[in-house]
Every structure is written in C-alpha cells, then in structure tokens.
Amino acid sequence: MDKKKLVVLTGAGISAESGISTFRDANGLWEGHDVMEVASIQGWQANPELVLEFYNQRRRQLHEVEPNLGHTILAELEDFFEVHIITQNVDNLHEQAGNSNIIHLHGELFKVRPSNNDQDIIEWKTDLRLGDTNEKGVQLRPHIVWFGEMVPLIEMAAQIASQADYFVVVGTSMAVYPAAGLIDYVQPDRPKFLIDPNIPSGLGHIPNLNCIEEIGSKGLQELKQILLS
C-alpha cells in the first residue's frame, strides 16, 4: 500500500532547540548587523568581507550542533509516511537526523556558488574568503537566498504542498513569504497542523487547521501520536 504524503514546512524555531540562534533580535538585527548588510545582494556588493564572515560564523557553528528530538521524530515518521520536508533553514540538521526528501527554500550553509550564476553549486564546509573562486576565476558566494532574490524552489514546494495528505508547519511564524503561502496550496479537505508555542491570530480562513501550542519537539511528539492513532 502506498504511504500517505506528509509534508512539513519547518523554520528557525525547530533548529533553535539545537542551539542554533535564530539571529534576529527584537530590533530586527542579526548579530548586531542590519539584515540588509549581511543578507542582501546590496550588502554583498557593498561589503563582501562582512557578508562572508557573517556566514563563516554560521558555518562554524553548524559543525558543533546536532539534531534535536524534533528533527529525529520527523525522520522516524518516514517509517509510516512519505515525508517531504520543506525548510526555510539553511542548516543540515534534517539531513543529519535522517530525512531523505528535503527542499531548502533559502539555500544551504554547506554549499557555495559563483557570484555570477546560481546553477554551479559546490559543497563547502570551511570558511569562505575573498579570493576563493571557481575554475573560471569567479568569486564564490554563499549558496543562500538573500532578501530581494528569487526563491527558485518555491514552485516545486507549492506542487508538493498541493499533493499533501497531511500538512504540518513547525518552527515558523507563518509570516515569512513566500513560504507562509504554501499552506494555501494544500487541498481544503486535508488536515493541517500548526505547532507553535505562540499561535498567531487571524488563521480562521485556513480550513481543517489544528493548532498544537508547544515548542517544536514537544509538539511533534504530540503530532506523531495523533497521526499514528
């Protein structure tokens, strides 16, 4: 018998339990930097060294963290469902935990690419510096979707969301677009679950939405019991 399709949209909240800071503080600053300084094409053009160091710090941190219970539960659910992870996170914790179908909407920290094209992607786990180029001499940049850039995998993600038997949102506030709009592609009669310790208001327009008011790992424990019962 074919497994039912479980599609899970994850955000920074699920990685926060592994000790990865969500970087954004109350003033919208990332590690003391305006987000546009370190995560936009304008910031890259103005100060590439600052941008490279910002992501070098993120990459170094990624070598020191491990998946948490939330990641592990999502991997375990592959025994029962065809699980598709659509993540806004640039870490590799879903891969480490054992999930096999993962779309990284916003890119990946352990990959880089030439600054003049987005197709030639290279695995890269150490610091990236000015002067690191591809074989054609083009400066490499983080393989990250910056503010103002297209999200190339969003159409694939929308197609997968439209095929979901169950759709789950965990670790993201439903406020970051275009990812937050993926729930609108899910068939109206399919069960949808939002796991968040602070359920936002104004979600009444979403049919068949079930809210679990918990942090990611606890909420996913609860969800696993619901789905398997």
Q: Let me know whether 38 and 55 are in one domain.
A: yes
Q: Let me know whether 78 and 176 are in one domain.
A: yes
The reported pLDDT for the residue numbered 152 is: 94
- Structural domains of the chain, count: 2
Domain that holds residue 77: 1-20+67-106+150-229
Share in percent of the chain as helix, strand, coil (round to 5) = 35, 25, 45
Closest CA to 67 of 38, 98, 24: 98
Q: Find out whether 94 and 111 touch, Cβ atoms under 8 Å.
A: no
Q: Average pLDDT of the chain?
A: 93
Active site residue 143: no
Q: Let me know whether 30 and 90 are in one domain.
A: no
Q: What is the pLDDT of residues 140-156, one digit of tens each?
A: 999 999 988 999 999 99
Q: What is the CATH number of the domain that holds 169?
A: 3.40.50.1220
Q: Which two tokens stand for residue 169?
A: 């949102």
Helix orientation angle between 69-76 and 216-228, rounded to the nearest 10 degrees: 20
Kindly name the residue from 84, 94, 106, 143 that is annotated as catalytic: 106
The reported pLDDT for the residue numbered 35 is: 84
Contacts of 55 (CB under 8 A, 6+ apart): 38, 109, 128, 142, 144
Q: Let me know whether 184 and 117 are in one domain.
A: no
Q: Does residue 122 register a pLDDT over 70?
A: yes
Q: Let me know whether 168 and 228 are in one domain.
A: yes
Q: Give 33: exposed, middle or buried? Use CB within 10 Å, 0-12, 13-18, 19+.
A: middle
Q: Let me know whether 122 and 173 are in one domain.
A: no
Q: What is the pLDDT of residues 18-68, one digit of tens each?
A: 998 765 555 555 667 788 899 999 999 999 999 999 999 999 999 999 999
222-226: average pLDDT: 98
Q: What is the pLDDT of residues 79-95, one digit of tens each?
A: 999 999 999 999 999 99
Query: At which of 85, 120, 144 does a domain end?
Result: 144
Q: Let me know whether 197 and 210 are in one domain.
A: yes
Q: Does residue 179 register a pLDDT over 90?
A: no
Q: What is the CATH number of the domain that holds 56?
A: 3.30.1600.10
Q: Does residue 207 register a pLDDT over 70?
A: yes
Contacts 24+ apart (CB under 8 A), 196-199: 196/13, 196/169, 196/170, 196/171
Q: Let me know whether 228 and 194 are in one domain.
A: yes
Q: Find out whether 41 and 148 touch, Cβ atoms under 8 Å.
A: yes
